[in-house]
Structure 1
Amino acid sequence: MDVSDNAASAIAPEQGGGMAEELAYRLRQQQLTAEFGHFALRTHDIAALLQEATRVCALGLQSEFCKAMEYLPDERQFIVRAGVGWKPGVVGHARTGADLESPTGYAFQTGEPVISNHLEGETRFRTPDILAEHGIKRAINVLIQGEGTRFGVLEVDSPTEGRFTDADLAFLQGFANLLGVAIERQQAEEALRASQAETRASETLLQGALAHQEVLTREISHRVKNSLAIVAGLLSMQGRAAADPALRQALDDARARVQTIASVHDRLWRTDEIHAVNLAEFMGELCEQLRSSAKPGQTLTCDFAPVTVATDQAVPLGLLANELVTNAFKYAYPGGEGDVRISVVSGEAGQLRMMVCDQGKGLPPDFDASRSRSLGMKLIATLGRQLGGQAEWQGAEPGTRFVLDFRPQHGADRER
């Protein structure tokens, strides 16, 4: 997962950040959630999934401590399955109570999140020994659950004075919802693999297992999409509550990006081929969605080569197309009317060339994409690198042209 640990301008409100710093702080939380969603779709290791979740949540709430705890029904307590910041011997071994008098147990049994901003003076719950040993002053606990059995609790802890806010809770709960569905997906796949091993000798049973796997895969995909929709909904709520117009716009942009990831994922898993997709069909559906969200007078012209590309390329390609077209409509035509053209066609030496063009006001004289601090421009550069290409911005006279040459991968290439 390619998430930078540096957050130069992202400062939490309780750390004294102003409006601009808080905006960067909230936007970074949403970027982390979206990128973790992409990571969760690609990984097949629950231990790695949990460890990455604790690392990213600690980054998102700017704390050095985070842990994922799994409930052990036979022992009626939790075990720390993954975490960051803890002393050796904690992760994989430490246990904590699951009764209602502990914040972890309360969050697990009731499903209600728990924020404790002053553990030294906490009267609702007892402070677990592990927190006292590490000098923890405040903690936030949320339930990890998909559509079925409750898995455990996700907890972020801080040894510094301050307070976790409702916005922090919205970030962590949306993250835990996504994590819960991803864990269910992993567990279902592991159960299917075990079932397939036991029934390999019988062709009839094997066919039944494969059919069951397909149903589960599509159902889990649906749940992942719903969890991403929850994250988008939380962003929308935060945007409506924000008083600053710039903050509202930035949160709306973040919501649109999360919704795009959900839509791209849904399209990929609705195809019969898991490892490769038809580029023209896949991008054509995405363009229809972009047209439906365009303003009156805005048109989108599309041209895509009838080739197949690997699913791992289709995801960043779809996200890149969404970012470029959305930016073109927003910035190239201040008056709101204009045409944007997008194409992915065969180029030289077996490569594909992606172009997004407009006939708007063009690039500013001092434009330098590599020095831009815009989140959108950074995402475009990152997605271009994921595709294995180097993005190029050109003046189209009139307008702007974006060009990216990359070598397509296919399903067989991916397996090798």
Structure 2
Amino acid sequence: MTITVRALLGACAVTALGCAVSAETITVATVNNGDMIRMQGLMEDFNAKHPDITVEWVTLEENVLRQKVTTDIATKGGQFDVLTIGTYEVPIWGKQGWLLSLNDLPAEWDAADLLPAIAGGLTVDGNLYAAPFYGESSMVMYRTDLMEKAGLTMPEAPTWADIKAAAAAMTDKDNEIYGICLRGKAGWGENMAFLTAMSNSFGAKWFDEAWTPQFDQQPWKDTLAFYLDLMTNYGPPGASNNGFNENLALFQSGKCGMWIDATVAASFVTGKDSTVAEHVGFALAPDNGLGKRGNWLWAWSLAIPAGTQKEAAAKTFVAWATSKEYLALVAAKEGWANVPPGTRASLYANPEYQTVPFAKMTLDSINSADPTHPTVDPVPYVGVQFVAIPEFQGLGTAVGQQLSAALAGTMTADEALAAAQALTVTEMTKAGYIK
């Protein structure tokens, strides 16, 4: 999708960043989720305020986006001026000098208003390297009508045993209602985001303190066995192909009794495109009694590659897209429930936003995730649903392919975990973590 603006002769955007070059064009790489699509539909506001900047969008599926922006920034390709990246990439790329600091965004942008949990994951050595567009954890979204029909009540803080009992009670395959929908599509940010967060609550971890992979240990066997049991008995067919967008469509069309996924999905399952909008409840991600819940911490954020030739225009766009004013714009056009969540304290202090049914659960979920202590036992890495090392992007996807194959039935659980262990040992030895 491309949005163009006729440059006004001599026009210049007035911002605290100074004047962008007249008729400057910036290219924004972004993910094809609902919030970013919505932004593209609200560009009239930006165009009116900054007629000297033309924005061209490259909108991609999540796995494809990650591959393209990683290749572009690592090779200094210069294809994009603004990147949509996440909490995994920002600290690694910032430390490598691949991103511009955003500490000089205008004072009215109000960096101090960012939620500490979100801003902390985007900051390296005092430099904010990306502006969060929305922040998220994960939580349980469930059909209140199906729970009532089953004679069950969802606890606010359920266990995995509660989830299994509810999934069994709500499943009605004759009418294409599946008790639970979970990510199965391979990818470090797809099925492995879910499974890594889930594994934390089972006492599992990617590595011990000596960086030895742990997929051959009992907690990972327990995690995968439970996941496969849920999905085989109570999940939809073809689940190994389902990521965030596919499960969202299933839930919106009434096919899922429960969906454990990103808190940002709440506005979509209760929105105008959802056939079950009036019957959705929310709960914290499950635990297993070990002190860790199976929820993650993430922010989709806008960052600027260090090689851009259009720094001023790019920062003008980033400041607009992640501002308090943008949140107010979405609220005015789409209602408070559709405002990008999870980034600013002022949003959660707003009485109008506090009436949104999932607002408190989203904030509680974000605040309950601790990327510095993600697992039951001590580990040498930071990250809840990922391991914050450069090698993880390739490793996470490779392991995700093995576990997705187990879900598809082309490998057994033991075979998938053995393959995951072997490939992770090989890569970590090659990278020098294992001596």
Asked which structure has the greater CA Rg, the reply is: 1
TM-score band by shorter chain is under 0.3
- The TM-score normalised by the length of structure 2 is 0.24
Structure with more contact order per residue of length (Cα contacts < 8 Å, sep ≥ 6) = 2
The structure whose residues are more often helix, as a share, is: 1
